[in-house]
C-alpha cells in the first residue's frame, strides 16, 4: 500500500485537492463554491459516485463528491463515493475527504468505508511492469465534533482491511510461474510471522501421510509439488487456555495456482489466462487471517490452504480414476477440470477433525455459479441456515455480495457412481448445487457454508471500489464473519 492515511478535525491546508460530500437534496456546503443550480448545470446532482472537479484560481482543487440521500447513505455508498474521489484525484499527492460528517451513518462505519473505498480504488498491480505508475501520497479523512473519535477508529480498521485486500489481489494477480504452490506456502509463512499467526506447512511427503488423496491426485500431472498450509489465530483472551473466545471458526481455501483443466483441457480463451486466479479462495483466507490480530478478533480461527496446480501430462489424473479422500470416502473422476472440489474435500475433512463450531470454504469453483449469478456476486450454499445468515450478514456489511442457492438434496443422485461412493460431477444442470452437494459429503454434522466466487474473482475494468484485475473477493467478508462470529444454532 503506497498511501499514507491520516485523520483531521478540519481540512488540512497542505491538501492540494479536497473532496466535499454533496447529497441529492439539502444545502450544498459553502466550501464547494457552487450553488445547486450551478452544479446541476454541470450535470452533477449528488448521486452516489458522481464527482465534479471545481477549478480554483488558487489553493486546493475542490471536488464535489455525490453521496446520494444523506439520511439513507450506507457504508457501500460511502465506500463507492470515496472510490470515485480517489479516481478523480489520482494525479494529486495530498488529498483530503470530508464525508463522515455528511451522512447519518455511524462515524466508525463511515470512516472505515471511506478509507476502504479510496485505497481499494487506488490499487494497481505493478510488480511485473518496467514502467511503474503507482498512485501514492497522503489521504486525510476529515471528521469534526462528536464523530471524530468514531471516525478515527473506523479509519484505523479500514487501513487494516484494505491492506488485507491488497495482499489478496497481489497474490491472485501473480502469473503461475511467479506463484507456485511452494511459493504460496512460503508467502503464507512470511505473512503468518508478520501477523501473529501460527503456521504449519505440509509438503508432499506429509500430505501422503495425512491421506489427502484429492490434493495428491490433482497434483499428479504437475512438476511442482503440492503444499497444504495450516494457519491458526488464537485471540489473546484464549491463549494458554482451552477457551475459543466467541467460538472456533475454520476457513478452507482453494489454492489452485493455475488450472489448465488437466486432461479435460480448458478451451484457449481469455478466461483460461485468468486461471492464475484459481487460488483466490486461498489468498482470501490467508489475507483475512492476516488482519485478525490487528483487529482484536475475539474468535479462534483455523485456516487450511489447499495448494497445487492442475496440469495435463502423462502422469495426470485421468477420467475413470477413483480417489480416496482423508475421511475415507471415494470418488470416480468424470471430469479432471472439476478439481477444486477434490482438494477442498480433504481440507473439509481436516476441518471436521478440528471439531470447530462452523466451517466456511471459499473457492472459484464453478462456471455454473457464474452463469447463474453473473460477475458481481458469489453463491452461498450450506447445511446450517443460522450460519449461512451470518455469512450473508457479513456480505451485506462489506458489499461483497452473495446470493443463497438451495442445497437441493434430491440432486445428490446425480453424483451416484457405479464404482465409488460418488462421481466428481453431477451432469449438465445445477452445477453449482451438485458441486456443493459433493463438498457436503465431507462436512459431517458441523455447520457449514460454501462460497462459490468464480464470478467476482476478477473485473475487466474499474468499478466502484473494485480495480481491474483480481478483486481479492471474500477477504473483507471473511474478516467481518470472524469478527462477529457466533456459534450457530443447530447442526450441519
Give the integer Cα–Cα distance in Å for 204 and 207. 5
For residue 190, which phi and psi values (nearest 5 degrees)? -65, -45
300 is catalytic: no
Give the burial string for 217-230 (b: 16+ CB within 10 Å, else e): bbbbbbebbbbbbb
Contact 71, 56 (CB under 8 A): no
CA distance 123 to 239: 36
**Grid-cell match 462489506, residue found:** 398
Vertex 457, ends 307 and 66: CA angle to 5°? 145
Residue 149 phi/psi, 5-degree rounding, is: -65, -45
- Please say if 484 is a catalytic residue: no
Residue in 272, 285, 251, 257 with CA at minimum distance from that of residue 183: 257
- Kindly name the residue from 87, 124, 266, 484 that is annotated as catalytic: 266
Distance CA 39, CA 25 (A): 12
Q: Which of 108, 341, 423, 476 is catalytic?
A: 341
Asked if residues 80 and 125 have their Cβ atoms less than 8 Å apart, the reply is no
- Cα 175 vs. chain centroid, distance in angstroms? 19
How far does CA 57 lie from the centroid of its chain? Answer: 43
Query: How far is Cα 437 from Cα 372, in angstroms, rounded to an integer?
Result: 17
Residues identified as active-site: 266, 341
Amino acid at each position: 500500500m503506497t498511501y499514507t492515511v491520516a485523520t483531521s478535525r478540519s481540512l488540512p491546508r497542505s491538501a492540494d485537492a479536497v473532496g466535499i460530500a454533496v447529497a441529492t437534496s439539502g444545502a450544498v456546503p459553502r466550501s464547494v463554491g457552487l450553488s445547486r443550480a450551478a452544479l446541476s448545470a454541470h450535470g452533477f446532482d449528488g448521486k452516489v459516485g458522481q464527482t465534479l472537479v471545481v477549478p480554483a484560481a488558487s489553493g486546493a482543487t475542490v471536488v464535489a463528491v455525490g453521496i446520494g440521500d444523506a439520511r439513507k447513505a450506507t457504508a457501500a455508498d460511502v465506500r463507492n463515493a470515496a472510490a470515485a474521489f480517489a479516481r478523480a484525484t489520482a494525479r494529486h499527492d495530498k488529498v483530503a475527504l470530508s464525508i463522515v460528517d455528511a451522512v447519518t451513518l455511524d462515524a466508525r462505519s463511515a470512516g472505515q468505508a471511506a478509507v476502504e473505498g479510496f485505497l481499494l480504488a487506488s490499487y494497481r498491480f505493478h510488480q511485473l511492469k518496467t514502467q511503474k505508475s503507482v498512485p501514492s501520497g497522503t489521504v486525510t479523512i476529515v471528521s469534526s465534533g462528536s464523530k471524530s473519535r468514531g471516525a478515527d477508529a473506523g479509519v484505523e480498521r479500514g487501513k487494516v482491511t484494505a491492506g488485507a485486500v491488497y495482499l489478496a489481489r497481489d497474490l491472485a494477480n501473480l502469473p503461475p510461474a511467479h506463484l507456485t504452490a511452494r511459493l504460496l506456502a512460503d508467502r503464507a509463512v512470511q505473512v503468518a510471522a508478520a501477523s501473529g499467526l501460527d503456521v504449519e506447512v505440509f509438503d508432499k511427503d506429509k500430505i501422503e501421510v495425512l491421506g489427502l488423496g484429492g490434493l495428491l491426485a490433482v497434483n499428479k500431472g504437475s512438476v511442482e509439488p503440492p503444499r497444504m498450509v495450516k494457519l491458526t489465530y488464537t485471540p489473546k483472551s484464549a491463549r494458554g487456555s482451552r477457551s475459543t473466545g466467541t467460538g472456533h471458526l475454520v476457513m478452507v481455501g482453494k489454492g489452485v495456482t493455475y488450472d489448465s483443466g488437466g486432461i479435460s483441457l480448458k478451451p484457449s480463451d481469455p478466461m483460461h489466462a485468468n486461471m492464475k486466479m484459481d487460488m483466490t479462495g486461498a489468498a482470501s483466507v490467508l489475507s483475512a487471517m492476516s488482519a485478525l490480530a490487528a483487529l482484536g478478533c475475539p474468535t479462534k480461527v483455523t485456516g487450511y490452504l489447499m495448494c497445487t496446480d492442475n496440469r495435463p501430462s502423462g502422469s495426470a489424473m485421468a477420467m475413470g480414476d477413483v480417489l480416496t479422500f482423508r475421511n475415507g470416502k471415494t470418488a470416480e473422476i468424470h471430469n479432471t477440470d472439476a478439481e477444486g472440489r477434490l482438494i477442498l474435500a480433504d481440507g473439509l475433512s481436516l476441518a471436521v477433525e478440528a471439531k470447530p463450531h462452523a466451517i466456511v470454504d471459499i473457492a472459484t469453483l464453478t462456471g455454473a455459479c457464474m452463469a447463474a449469478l453473473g460477475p458481481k456476486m458469489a453463491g452461498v450454499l450450506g447445511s446450517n441456515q443460522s450460519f449461512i445468515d451470518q455469512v450473508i450478514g457479513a456480505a451485506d456489511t462489506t458489499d461483497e455480495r452473495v446470493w443463497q442457492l438451495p442445497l437441493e438434496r434430491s440432486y445428490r443422485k446425480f453424483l451416484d457412481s457405479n464404482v465409488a461412493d460418488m462421481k466428481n460431477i453431477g451432469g449438465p444442470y445445477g452445477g453449482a448445487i451438485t458441486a456443493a452437494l459433493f463438498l457436503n459429503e465431507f462436512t459431517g454434522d458441523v455447520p457449514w457454508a460454501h462460497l462459490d466466487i468464480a464470478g467476482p474473482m476478477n473485473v475487466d475494468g474499474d468499478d466502484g471500489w473494485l480495480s481491474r484485475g483480481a478483486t481479492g473477493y471474500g477477504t473483507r467478508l471473511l474478516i467481518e464473519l470472524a469478527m462477529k462470529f457466533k456459534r450457530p444454532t443447530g447442526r450441519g
